Structure 1
Amino acid sequence: MLVLRSGLTRALAARTLAPQVCSSFATGPRQYDGTFYEFRTYCLKPSTMNEFMENLKKNIHLRTAHSELVGFWSVEFGGRMNKLFHIWQYDNFAHRTEVRKALAKDKEWQEQFIIPNWVLVDKQELDITYLVPWCKLEKPPKEGVYELATFQMKPGGPALWGDPFKRAVNAHVNLGYSKLVGVFHTEYGALNRGTVLW
């Protein structure tokens, strides 16, 4: 089982006093862009993690037959416990729409995973993210300890904060502290966020 360490670090992030801004659907030109990554988080009811994970191990092949799974982690430190975090890769929004339709019609996936596991889920969250322009996705190993650091940025996206953030991330990489998997920015969901997966 993969372990994800989650934390919010303020040292590198430019903070604002404005309330959190969210976008829940695609209406602009970005919806036609290429590859994006869906950050999906399940908050499970207490003491249901083992049951959920056993069912997942038996049935994840049914889900990955439809689209690419970058990684699946459980939260060990920071934030709410009983949390699972996974990243799905899509070619574009049309691809995601096709996958979601196919999953809804996949009786084996629905009966073996969704129906028995849905009662175990207390809450789910979803963000659509893109890699920042200067970062390529490195495929994570199957097992290990990971850190997911989220930074609340000033509005404007990577065009505004990208260069200083890149220097800070590269300084960390160059010191050899950990291996970088990817640097993402949120397009739909909780906006003005930069996320680094180590």
Structure 2
Amino acid sequence: MCRLLLSCTRLSGRFHFRPLPPDACPTHPTAGLVTRPQPGGGALYEFRTYQIHPDRNSAFLKLTDEKIHLRTAHSELVGYWRVEYGALNQVFHIWKYESYAHRTAVRSALAQDERWMNEYIVHAMPMLARQDNRVVALLPWSSISAPPRLGGIFELTSFRTRPGTGHAWAASFQNSDEPGRPRLVAAFRGDVGHPDTVYALRWFESADERGLTPSDADASGPVESRRNKLMFPCSFSPLK
């Protein structure tokens, strides 16, 4: 498997791809691999954030639009957004996996998918300045629900909490029938990356209608810091 992976170096502003040598990754038996199950056996979700070189933003989005079907043939895409406020030239996407072992199998299959590597990866990687990921799981009471209509804008807010306090505090994000409250699309807890972080994915009619919710206003309790960004779904995003 490892021989099919690529390494890249950046020389004179260009990325050069070359196969890894056979001994670059030692072979390990995987038959007995055990991954930590999630409480209740729930799925894992990977948050991926790509920072795009400013002059390549349009080209990257066009390429992804044309080739995303090669990626979704391997695992489920939940949503894919371009960030409008809170960051520039950035995309954010969520992928669903049944377990860490499932993700490992998917990544292995992608590395061996010649069309994915040759038609997308080789062209996309030079367009990116940075990649970042987090592994999260849905909070026990949360599910992923589509907004009531197409259009609108999504907000992803991350709340870094004191250890052991986030889950109970985040229950206040659950939807209510109160007028003017944003629709909660999903609430997640961090598993790898920022484990004491709660993530709220919410939907608004527009950026102008967005305001502080009661939970945000009372965030001074267990919350140590928070960050957010407003995003528009791409045309190929399942969640929009």
Shorter-chain TM-score range: 0.7 to 0.9
RMSD: 2.2
Q: Deviations over 1:33-71 (max 9, x none)?
A: 541100000011112110000000100000001000000
Q: What corresponds to 1:189 in structure 2?
A: 193
**What does residue range 100-179 of structure 1 map to in structure 2 within 5 Å?**
100-139=107-146, 143-156=151-164, 160-167=165-172, 169-170=173-174, 174-179=178-183
Distance 1:92 1:143, change over 3 A: farther
Tell me how far apart the structure 1 counterparts of residues 139 and 38 of structure 2 sit (CA, whole Å).
16
Q: CA deviation at 1:162?
A: 2.2
* TM-score, normalised via structure 1 length: 0.77
Q: Deviations over 1:104-131 (max 9, x none)?
A: 0001011111100100100000100000
Q: 2:63 aligns with which of 55, 60, 67?
A: 55
Larger RCO: 1 or 2 (CA < 8 Å, sep 6+)? 1
Amino acid at match of 2:81: W
**What does residue range 2-17 of structure 1 map to in structure 2 within 5 Å?**
none
Which blocks of at least 5 consecutive residues in structure 1 are unaligned? Answer: 1-26
Tell me how far apart the structure 2 counterparts of residues 131 and 171 of structure 1 sit (CA, whole Å).
15
Q: Is the 8 A contact 1:40 1:125 kept in 2?
A: yes
Number of aligned residues? 167
Amino acid at match of 1:65: A
Amino acid at match of 1:147: E
Tell me how far apart the structure 2 counterparts of residues 103 and 28 of structure 1 sit (CA, whole Å).
21
Q: Which has the larger radius of gyration?
A: 2
Q: Is the 8 A contact 2:174 2:184 kept in 1?
A: no
Q: Is the 8 A contact 1:150 1:193 kept in 2?
A: yes
Q: What corresponds to 1:12 in structure 2?
A: none
Q: What corresponds to 1:98 in structure 2?
A: 105
Q: Is the 8 A contact 2:53 2:127 kept in 1?
A: yes
